[in-house]
């Protein structure tokens, strides 16, 4: 879980200890009806980005995750809790802008 915002840090420690399977959910969807306001689960996109940027092969398509987050946000009609999503979107926009400038 990511109740205190330490889920990704805990996953990193687990990776260093040899763990290779993790539970997460798109956008951190989840929570507990007995703990109102609890943050819920670690966002899949946060874990995938951390692992990929650290050199681990995940087999996960980051672009596919972005599409899944977009779909889930539309269906739930609310923003989701992943932290990486904002950075990923800005990075994609920057890359597209840079590619457009190169072609001009």
Residues taking part in catalysis: 32
Compute the distance between CA of residue 66 and CA of residue 36 in angstroms, rounded to an integer.
27
Contact 66, 85 (CB under 8 A): yes
Compute the distance between CA of residue 24 and CA of residue 22 in angstroms, rounded to an integer.
6
């Amino acid at each position: 879980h990511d109740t205190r915002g330490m889920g990704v840090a805990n996953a990193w420690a687990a990776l260093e200890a040899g763990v290779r399977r993790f539970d997460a959910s798109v956008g951190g969807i989840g929570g507990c009806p007995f703990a109102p306001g609890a943050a819920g689960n670690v966002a899949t996109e946060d874990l995938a980005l951390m692992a990929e940027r650290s050199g681990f092969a995940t087999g996960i398509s980051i672009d596919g995750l972005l599409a899944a987050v977009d779909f889930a946000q539309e269906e739930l009609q609310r923003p989701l809790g992943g932290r990486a999503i904002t950075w990923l979107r800005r990075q994609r926009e920057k890359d597209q802008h840079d590619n457009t400038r190169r072609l001009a």
